[in-house]
Structure 1
Amino acid sequence: MSVDPAPLVDPRTYVDGVPYDLLAELRAAAPVVWVDEPPLLGLPGGPGFWLVLRHADVTEVLKQPGLFSSRLGATQIRDPATPADLDYVRRMMLNMDPPEHGRLRRPVARSFTPRAVAALEASIRANAAALVDRVIGDADEGTCDFARDLAADLPLLTLADVLGMPEPDRWLLYDWSNRVIGFQDPDYAVSAAFDPEAGTPAAREALRHRPAPDADGRMPDPRTRAGMADLYAYAHLLAESKRRDPGPDVMSILLAQRGEDRLTVDEFENMFWLFAVAGNETIRNGLPGAMIALLEHPDELARLRDERALFDTAVDELLRWWTPVMVFRRTATADTTVAGVPVRAGDKVVVSFASANRDERVFAEPDRLDLTRQPNPHLVFGYGPHFCLGAHLARCQLRALFEALLARTSTLTYAGRPAYLRSNFQRGVKRLPIRWRRR
Structure 2
Amino acid sequence: MLPCIREARRPMSVMSAADHRIPLDVAFQLVDPKAYADGRIHEAYRWLRKNEPFGVADVEGVDPFWVATRHADILEISRQNSLFLNGARSPVLTSQVADRKVREMMGGSPHLLRTLIHMDEPDHMKYRVLTQAWFLPQNLRAMEDRIRVIAKGAVEKMLATGGRCDFVKDVALHFPLHVIMSIMGVPEEDEGRMLKLTQEIFGAADPELGRDAAAQADVPLEERQLDFGVITDFFDYYRRFSEHKRAHPSDDLGSLIANSQVDGQPLSDLEAMSYYIIVATAGHDTTSSSTGGAMWALAQNPGEFAKVKADPALIPSLVDESIRWTTPVKTFMRTAAEDTEVAGRKVAKDDWIMLCYASGNRDEAVFEDPGLFRVDRRPNRHLAFGYGAHLCLGQHLAKMEMRILWEELLPRIKSVELDGEPAMSEAVFVNGPKRLPIKFELA
TM-score range, shorter chain: 0.7 to 0.9
1:416 and 1:336, CA in 2 relative to 1: closer, same or farther beyond 3 A?
same
1:335 and 1:90, CA in 2 relative to 1: closer, same or farther beyond 3 A?
farther
* 1:19 equivalent among 41, 44, 68: 41
Q: Does 1:131 align with 2:154?
A: yes
| Partners of 1:63 and 1:55 in 2: CA distance | 12
State the one-letter code of the partner of 1:72.
A
**How far has the Cα of 1:135 moved from its partner?**
2.3
State the one-letter code of the partner of 2:308.
L
| Partners of 1:400 and 1:414 in 2: CA distance | 23
Counterpart for residue 309 of structure 2 = 305
Higher alpha-carbon deviation: 164-173 or 382-391: 164-173
1:51 and 1:219, CA in 2 relative to 1: closer, same or farther beyond 3 A?
closer
Counterpart for residue 267 of structure 2 = 263
| Partners of 1:389 and 1:342 in 2: CA distance | 32
Counterpart for residue 239 of structure 2 = 236
Give the match's secondary structure for 1:4. helix
Q: Is the 8 A contact 1:164 1:250 kept in 2?
A: yes
1:219 and 1:406, CA in 2 relative to 1: closer, same or farther beyond 3 A?
farther
Q: Is the 8 A contact 2:56 2:64 kept in 1?
A: yes
Counterpart for residue 335 of structure 1 = 339
Provide Cα deviations, 1:305-330, integer angstroms capped at 9, x if missing partner: 11001113221112111211111111
Counterpart for residue 438 of structure 1 = 442
Q: Does 1:118 align with 2:159?
A: no
State the one-letter code of the partner of 2:27.
P
**How far has the Cα of 1:382 moved from its partner?**
0.6
State the one-letter code of the partner of 1:284.
S
Give the match's secondary structure for 1:82. helix
Provide Cα deviations, 1:249-295, integer angstroms capped at 9, x if missing partner: 22211233246153111111111111122222211211111111212
1:87 and 1:251, CA in 2 relative to 1: closer, same or farther beyond 3 A?
farther
1:396 and 1:247, CA in 2 relative to 1: closer, same or farther beyond 3 A?
same
**How far has the Cα of 1:55 moved from its partner?**
0.8
Give the match's secondary structure for 1:115. helix
Q: Does 1:317 align with 2:337?
A: no
Q: Is the 8 A contact 1:410 1:436 kept in 2?
A: yes
Q: Is the 8 A contact 1:282 1:324 kept in 2?
A: yes
After TM superposition, the structure 1 = structure 2 runs for residues 29-428 of structure 1, keeping only pairs within 5 Å, are 29-38=51-60, 45-78=61-94, 80=99, 81-83=101-103, 84-85=105-106, 86-89=109-112, 91-137=114-160, 141-190=162-211, 221-222=226-227, 224=228, 226-258=229-261, 260-261=263-264, 262-428=266-432
Q: Is the 8 A contact 1:335 1:344 kept in 2?
A: yes
Higher alpha-carbon deviation: 311-320 or 180-189: 311-320
Give the match's secondary structure for 1:350. strand
| Partners of 2:237 and 2:225 in 1: CA distance | 18
State the one-letter code of the partner of 2:313.
A
| Partners of 2:178 and 2:438 in 1: CA distance | 22
Counterpart for residue 6 of structure 1 = 28
| Partners of 1:22 and 1:47 in 2: CA distance | 20
What RMSD in Å do the two structures reach over aligned CA positions? 2.3
Structure 2, unaligned runs of 5 or more? 1-21
State the one-letter code of the partner of 2:176.
P
State the one-letter code of the partner of 2:394.
G
Provide Cα deviations, 1:25-69, integer angstroms capped at 9, x if missing partner: 21012330211232xxxxxx0122111011111011111122111
**How far has the Cα of 1:335 moved from its partner?**
1.7
**How far has the Cα of 1:374 moved from its partner?**
2.1
1:229 and 1:90, CA in 2 relative to 1: closer, same or farther beyond 3 A?
closer
1:407 and 1:269, CA in 2 relative to 1: closer, same or farther beyond 3 A?
same
State the one-letter code of the partner of 1:234.
Y
State the one-letter code of the partner of 1:305.
K
Q: Is the 8 A contact 1:89 1:270 kept in 2?
A: no
Higher alpha-carbon deviation: 383-392 or 305-314: 305-314
| Partners of 2:322 and 2:40 in 1: CA distance | 16
Higher alpha-carbon deviation: 115-124 or 412-421: 115-124
| Partners of 1:90 and 1:135 in 2: CA distance | 36
Provide Cα deviations, 1:5-27, integer angstroms capped at 9, x if missing partner: 32222112223125323312210
**How far has the Cα of 1:87 moved from its partner?**
4.8
State the one-letter code of the partner of 1:245.
H
Q: Is the 8 A contact 2:165 2:437 kept in 1?
A: yes
| Partners of 2:224 and 2:146 in 1: CA distance | 36
**How far has the Cα of 1:417 moved from its partner?**
1.0
| Partners of 2:327 and 2:50 in 1: CA distance | 20
Structure 1, unaligned runs of 5 or more? 39-44, 192-212
Runs of 4+ in 1 over 4 A off after TM superposition: 216-220
What's the % identity of the aligned pairs?
33
Give the match's secondary structure for 2:163. strand
**How far has the Cα of 1:233 moved from its partner?**
1.3
State the one-letter code of the partner of 1:430.
K
| Partners of 1:384 and 1:248 in 2: CA distance | 30
Count of residues in Structure 1 that have an aligned counterpart in Structure 2: 407
**How far has the Cα of 1:219 moved from its partner?**
11
Give the match's secondary structure for 1:412. strand
State the one-letter code of the partner of 1:75.
P
**How far has the Cα of 1:229 moved from its partner?**
1.5
| Partners of 1:29 and 1:288 in 2: CA distance | 32
| TM-score, reference length from structure 2 | 0.87
1:109 and 1:18, CA in 2 relative to 1: closer, same or farther beyond 3 A?
farther
State the one-letter code of the partner of 2:251.
P
| Partners of 1:146 and 1:402 in 2: CA distance | 13
| Partners of 2:53 and 2:421 in 1: CA distance | 34
